């Protein structure tokens, strides 16, 4: 007969497993009942237009229109009046020089002011006045939607054959877009004209760890584990804000996106892998810029919750993806 202490250990283990299973069931139930429908691309009346260089309203196009530019750059911006000019000057310097070298190259930059409380829209509009509204457009959202929501609004108003997401802080140097373009081309043939190239800072991880506190390093490793365990396999850096998508891949993935805040990148890549869209991860130059909107502990906690809920909501059928989904 097993000794009493051994019996207690076994009983404790059984109770532990039972409690863990009950907790998972409870969390799954909460994730299911609190799941919201996919946020519609609702535009307030003011968000249906952009101002041309003369200050006149013009109707925004839609991603379902045929592309008329080679490259669209979508820049989500929330209270970025100070950092945006540095990024725009660097980006436009590169883009204008590239166009000078190759007159067939066409581009547009779409700055999406995500309900800023500062002068972000006015700062961005000065570039529209300088370069013209065919190259620079500013979309001012009535209220803050979150980074994913702002990018979605910009993408669905874009004209490019390829669409680049680029952060307003200028942490990634703009000429690296050519690395993403090469990575995208190397994925050909693209199934249904869909492919994604993700900028990656994974190669800088050793250096960044040396500059971080042990607590932030622990949070980083925990987040990366959750991303790998719950949602996305094979991508070491899901959060770099420098991503290049074909127009068709942008339409397919962002049409299915639920998350509109920090963890949207993870759901974006989860959707892409579900649809078997080829993804390239490309090392890019990156410098940490002061002024991040992330609050280290609480933002990571929110993203951890979002990761768990992404997995559970798709697993329980609260959110669904259909491989035969029509895009028209």
* pLDDT tens-place string over residues 161-185: 999 999 998 888 899 999 999 999 9
pTM of the model: 0.84
Residue 219 has a pLDDT of: 67
For residue 183, the domain's CATH number is 3.90.550.10
Quick check: 286 pLDDT over 90? Answer: no
Neighbour-count burial of 32, counting CB atoms closer than 10 A to its CB (0-12 exposed, 13-18 middle, 19+ buried): middle
Structure tokens, 236: 């070491």
Mean pLDDT of 121-150: 96
The yes-or-no verdict on residue 87 having pLDDT over 70 is yes
| 18 located within any domain | no
The answer to the question of residue 220 being in a domain is no
> The domain containing residue 167 runs over which residues?
43-209+237-297
Please give the residue that has the higher pLDDT: either 103 or 206.
103
Q: State the pLDDT at residue 226.
A: 84
pLDDT band at 301 (very low <50, low <70, confident <90, very high): confident
Q: Which strands, in side-by-side order, build the sheet including 279-283?
A: 136-140, 107-113, 69-77, 160-165, 243-246, 196-200, 279-283
pLDDT of residue 265: 94
pLDDT bracket for residue 159 (50, 70, 90): very high
Is there a domain that residue 88 lies in?
Answer: yes
For residue range 10-19, what is the model confidence (pLDDT) as tens digits?
666 666 665 6
pLDDT of 328 above 50: no
What is the spatial distance between Cα 183 and Cα 246, in angstroms, rounded to a whole number?
A: 12
- 21 within domain boundaries: no
Establish if 38 belongs to a structural domain: no
pLDDT for the residue 306: 86
**Inside any domain, residue 126:** yes
The count of domains in the chain is 1
In a domain? residue 114: yes
- Asked if the model's pLDDT at residue 75 lies above 60, the reply is yes
> What would the pLDDT profile of 204-249 be if each residue is shown by its tens digit?
655 544 444 555 666 667 777 888 888 899 999 898 889 999 999 9
Q: Is pLDDT at 325 greater than 50 in this prediction? A: no
What pairs with residue 114 in β-bridges? Answer: none
Q: What percent of the chain has pLDDT over 90?
A: 58
Write out the two tokens for 164. Answer: 């680049």
How many percent of the chain have pLDDT more than 70? 77
Instruction: Confirm whether 242 is domain-assigned.
Output: yes
Q: What is the dihedral of CA 175, 177, 178, 181, to 10 degrees?
A: 180
pLDDT in tens, 27-64: 554 555 555 666 656 788 889 999 999 999 999 999 99
DSSP string computed for 196-219: EEEEE-GGGHHHHHHHS-HHHHHH
């Amino acid at each position: 007969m097993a000794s009493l202490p051994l019996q207690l250990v076994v009983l404790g283990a059984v109770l532990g497993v039972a409690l863990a299973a009950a907790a998972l069931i409870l969390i799954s139930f909460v994730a299911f009942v609190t799941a919201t429908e996919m946020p519609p691309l609702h535009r307030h009346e003011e968000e249906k237009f952009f101002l041309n260089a003369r200050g006149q309203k013009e109707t925004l196009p839609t991603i379902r229109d045929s592309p008329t530019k080679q490259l669209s750059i979508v820049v989500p911006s929330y209270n970025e009046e100070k950092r945006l000019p540095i990024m725009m000057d660097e980006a436009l310097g590169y883009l204008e020089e590239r166009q000078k070298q190759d007159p067939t190259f066409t581009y547009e930059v779409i700055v999406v002011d995500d309900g800023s409380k500062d002068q972000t829209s006015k700062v961005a509009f000065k570039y529209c006045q300088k370069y013209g509204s065919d190259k620079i457009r500013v979309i001012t959202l009535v209220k803050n939607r979150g980074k994913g929501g702002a990018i979605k609004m910009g993408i669905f108003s874009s004209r490019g054959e390829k669409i680049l997401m680029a952060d307003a802080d200028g942490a990634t140097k703009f000429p690296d877009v050519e690395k993403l373009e090469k990575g995208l081309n190397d994925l050909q043939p693209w199934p249904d004209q869909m492919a994604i190239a993700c900028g990656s800072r994974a190669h800088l991880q050793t250096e960044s760890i040396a500059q971080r506190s042990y607590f932030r390093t622990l949070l980083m490793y925990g987040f990366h584990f959750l991303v790998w365990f719950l949602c996305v396999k094979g991508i070491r850096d899901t959060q770099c804000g420098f991503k290049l998508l074909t127009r068709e891949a942008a339409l397919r993935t962002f049409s299915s996106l639920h998350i509109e805040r920090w963890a949207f990148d993870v759901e974006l890549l989860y959707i892409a892998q579900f649809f078997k869209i080829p993804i390239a991860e490309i090392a890019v130059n990156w410098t940490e810029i002061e002024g991040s909107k992330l609050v280290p502990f609480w933002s990571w906690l929110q993203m951890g919750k979002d990761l768990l809920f992404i997995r559970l909501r798709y697993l329980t059928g609260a959110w669904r993806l259909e491989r035969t989904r029509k895009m028209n």
